Structures are given as structure tokens and as C-alpha cells.
Amino acid sequence: MDGLALLADIGGTNTRVALAQGTQVLPDTIRRFPNADYKARGQDIAQILRDYLDQTGAQVAGLCVAAAGPVQDGVASMTNLDWTMDAPKLRAASGAGRVAILNDLQAQGHALGHIAAANLRPVIKGPQVTGGSMLVVGLGTGVNAAPVHGHGAQRVVPASECGHVNMPVRNDEDFRLMRFIEARLAAEGEIAHCGVEEVLAGRGLGNLCAFAAAEAGGSDSRKSAEVLADLAAGEAVATHAARLYTRILAQTLADLALIHLPYGGIYLIGGMARAMTPHFARFGLTETFREPRRVDLLTQAFSVTVVEDDYAALTGCAAWLQASA
């Protein structure tokens, strides 16, 4: 695509906005806007885009937005922000001739192949077949995963909500954990379903810590950031929680690998993926993932890599615009 592209990654807390030339995000143009400030004034992403363009003076030919919410028929809904956006609204705000809206996980999928090697950290070594299907797994405020098929304009990243599939239950401890999470959710007036998001998202590590404390005859209300800090210090309950997190993640990734056959690699994104990366080896991520099954694929196929690029969704937006020009 000729000319500058305007990119926006709308998260739960901030919206990141940047300019791109082709598939290259221009680092010096990246700015953050606090969503809460705009919501308090009854404004939304349209005003953020106007403010960014006013501040930079940029004129753009295309716009691509990554939204942390479902996108259906070209309309994105941000549940936590009560923001809804479509192409006409974004075109009016930006003046861009070409406008696209992607789910944030889809944007991450389109970024694969455009991320610098320095921002890719292997955590499970294995073969990567050139041109093979890939799998992007988001571990952050929520959990989701989607296969990535093809390249360039033919790349397809289907929508998914697999963060709400059942947590894998393999032993007695897992069963007790499932019942603990269900009871915890019911007590909070929420639907008592123990999906993988309840144990692998940001809040999940706190849930696991509460369970580990209960198993030891106590109680615990630490948030994930506190658990991570205490884990670094070697605290026992935090360590138990992190071991559970690693085992459940490995089993979830193994199930997803057999469903999607991502011979091109599995890529983990999001804050929880980056925060837990230093602990994966000692808690046996590889060993649990490569557990033998009747179909002998997990012991030898697939690799798992953590994406340590905080702006990968913006890169994916730029790549999509360029490929679809």
C-alpha cells in the first residue's frame, strides 16, 4: 500500500497508536492513550484517532484497528469499554481510504513472520516447517488461541473463543482445582465453569495461588503480580501455583497442537506468557507437553516460542494492510 498507514491496538486499559510504512511500524510514532479518560468523557476510539492525527499532523492512506473483542460483519464491540466501531466511523475519524478491523488475536497471527528474531524466545525446541500452519496463543487479561494458515494476502486467522474450553483434568489434584474454581466463581455470582481462562489468564495465577493455599490449609487473596514477585523469592505457595500453571498450560498446548497440527510453530503472546517464561523450564513445560500419546506426534513435532514484542499487534495490522492492498 502506498503512503502511510495508521494503526491502533485497543486493549482493556490503553490504546496504542502508530504509523507504518509498508509492513514496518515506525517506532518513534508509537503513542499510548488511556481508554478510561476517553470513556469518562463519552468518547471512544474515533476521538483517539483524531487526537493522534492532530498531534502528529500525519495524513494516512489506510487504517487498521486491532480490537480486544469480537468482530462480526465488520463491526467490533469492546465489551469492557462499551465501544462499538465500524468502517464508516473509523474512516470519518481518520480520513483513510482503506479501513480494516481485526480481532487482536487475529492481528497477532498476521504479525507472525514479520517479528524480529531478537523478540522471539524458544521455550520448547522442535522442528518448524516452512509454510506450515501455525498457532498463536494469547495469555494475558484473557486467553484465546487461533490457527494461522497461509501467507501474505492468502493468510487466514479464523476467529476463536477457545479460552473458554474446559480446563484439562488429568489427576485428583486437577479435579479438586476444578471444583475449587467452580465454587469460587459461584460465590462471586458468576457462571461456575472452569475454563482454561480461569487458570491461565492474568486472574488465573491468583486463582491457582488461592487453591494452593487452600490445599495447605490456609487462604490467599494475592493478585497475579504479587504471586509473580513472591515466586521470584521462592515462596512455597506461589511456587505451587506456578507449577500448576505450567503443567496446565503444557497440557492445553498439547491438546491444541493435536487439534490444529501447527507444524510451523506455536507462538505465545501476552503479559502472562512473558512473565512466566523464566519459570517454564524448571517447572517442566517441555516434559509435560511432550508426554507420549497414542498418536506419536507430541514427542517429536512442534515448537513453542514466546513473542516478546509488545507491539506485535500493530505489526500484524500493518502486515494485513500491505498484503491486502
Report the pLDDT value the prediction gives residue 1, as an integer from 0 to 100: 60
Task: Show Cβ contacts of residue 315 under 8 Å, excluding neighbours closer than 6 positions.
Answer: 23, 25, 111, 114, 115, 309
Same domain, 144 and 269: yes
Same domain, 240 and 299: yes
Same domain, 227 and 244: yes
Going through the chain in order, the beta strands assigned E by DSSP cover 4-10, 14-21, 24-25, 31-34, 62-67, 71-72, 75-78, 83-85, 98-103, 120-124, 134-139, 143-148, 265-269, 304-307
Same domain, 276 and 169: yes
Same domain, 173 and 222: yes
Residue type, 234: G
Task: Evaluate whether 220 touches 237 at the Cβ level (below 8 Å).
Answer: yes
DSSP class of residue 168? Answer: P
Same domain, 318 and 296: no
For the whole model, what pTM was predicted?
A: 0.91
Report the pLDDT value the prediction gives residue 255, as an integer from 0 to 100: 97
The count of domains in the chain is 2
Report the pLDDT value the prediction gives residue 194, as an integer from 0 to 100: 97
Report the pLDDT value the prediction gives residue 12, as an integer from 0 to 100: 77
Same domain, 107 and 170: no
Please, what are the averages of pLDDT over each run of 10 residues along the chain (325 residues)?
A: 88 92 95 95 96 96 90 81 91 95 92 95 96 95 92 85 94 98 97 97 96 96 94 95 98 97 97 96 98 94 96 95 85
Q: Taking the mean position of all CA atoms in its chain, how far away is CA 131? A: 22
Residue 211, C-alpha cell as written in the block: 487453591
Same domain, 103 and 164: no
Same domain, 65 and 122: no
Report the pLDDT value the prediction gives residue 312, as an integer from 0 to 100: 94
Closest CA to 44 of 104, 7, 93: 93
- Long-range contact pairs involving 224-227 (C-beta distance under 8 Å, separation at least 24): 224/272, 224/275
Range of the domain at 81: 4-111+311-323
